[in-house]
C-alpha cells in the first residue's frame, strides 16, 4: 500500500519538476532572444545614424567645391561619437582627410582597412566587418557611403567606429 501511494506521488513530482525546468529554460531563452534583439537594434540605430550623417556631409558645398579644410571642420563637428572619426577616400581608396588628425597634419601611412572597398559601384552603403586599424592602432568597424563630390568624381565618406564604442553604448543602455 505504501508503494501504491509513493509511486504516483514521486511520478507526479518528477513530472512537475520537469515541467518547471522546461518553463524556466524557455523563459531564459526568451530573455536571451529579447536581449539579442535589443542589442542588434541599438547597433543598427547607430549605423543608420552614421549613414544619415555621412549623406548630409556628402551634400556639403565645401566638399563639392574642394574646400577640404572647411569640410574637415564640418565633418569633425558633425561626428558626435567620441570613439569615432570620419575619413574621406578618393575613388582609389586613398585618404584625403581624416578627422582623427588635425587639418594640415600628415595623414597616417597605415592602410585604411584591408579589403574594404572605397565605395560600391552601385552607390550602396556598406558596413565593414571588424578590422585592425593600423592608423588608429585598434580594432574598428566602418560605415562607408559613396558620394559624388569634388567635381562629380566618386568618393567615399567613411565613419569609423572604435570597437570600444559599441561596448560602451551597450553598457550605457543597460542592456542585460
Reported as a single tens digit per residue, the pLDDT across 114-164 is 444 445 556 788 888 888 776 667 788 888 888 876 666 678 888 888 888
Domain ranges of the chain: 38-172
> pTM for this structure?
0.72
Strand, coil or helix: 11: helix
Residue with cell 563639392: 64
Reported as a single tens digit per residue, the pLDDT across 40-63 is 888 888 888 888 888 888 888 887
Reported as a single tens digit per residue, the pLDDT across 7-28 is 777 778 888 888 888 888 888 8
Topology of 38-172 in CATH? Beta-Lactamase (3.30.450)
Query: What is the per-residue pLDDT for 114?
Result: 44
158 near 142, Cβ under 8 Å? yes
Among 143, 136, 135, 137, residue whose Cα is nearest residue 160: 143
144 near 158, Cβ under 8 Å? yes
Other C-beta atoms lying within 10 Å of the C-beta of residue 160: 29
* Mean pLDDT for all residues in the chain: 78
Query: What is the per-residue pLDDT for 118?
Result: 47
Among 107, 116, 164, 126, residue whose Cα is nearest residue 47: 126
Query: What is the per-residue pLDDT for 156?
Result: 83
Reported as a single tens digit per residue, the pLDDT across 86-114 is 888 877 777 888 877 778 776 665 555 44
Amino acid at each position: 500500500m505504501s508503494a501504491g501511494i509513493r509511486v504516483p506521488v514521486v511520478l507526479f513530482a518528477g513530472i512537475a519538476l520537469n515541467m518547471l525546468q522546461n518553463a524556466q529554460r524557455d523563459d531564459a531563452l526568451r530573455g536571451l532572444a529579447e536581449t539579442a534583439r535589443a542589442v542588434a537594434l541599438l547597433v543598427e540605430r547607430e549605423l543608420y545614424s552614421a549613414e544619415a550623417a555621412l549623406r548630409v556631409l556628402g551634400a556639403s558645398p565645401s566638399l563639392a567645391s574642394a574646400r577640404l579644410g572647411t569640410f574637415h571642420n564640418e565633418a569633425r563637428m558633425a561626428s558626435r561619437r567620441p570613439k569615432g572619426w570620419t575619413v574621406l577616400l578618393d575613388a582609389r581608396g586613398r585618404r584625403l582627410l581624416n578627422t582623427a588628425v588635425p587639418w594640415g597634419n600628415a595623414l597616417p601611412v597605415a592602410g585604411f582597412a584591408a579589403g574594404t572597398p572605397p565605395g560600391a559601384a552601385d552607390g550602396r552603403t556598406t558596413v565593414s566587418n571588424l578590422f585592425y586599424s593600423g592608423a588608429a592602432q585598434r580594432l574598428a568597424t566602418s560605415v562607408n557611403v559613396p558620394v559624388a563630390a569634388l567635381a562629380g568624381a566618386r568618393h567615399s565618406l567613411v565613419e569609423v567606429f572604435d570597437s570600444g564604442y559599441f561596448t560602451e553604448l551597450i553598457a550605457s543602455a543597460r542592456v542585460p
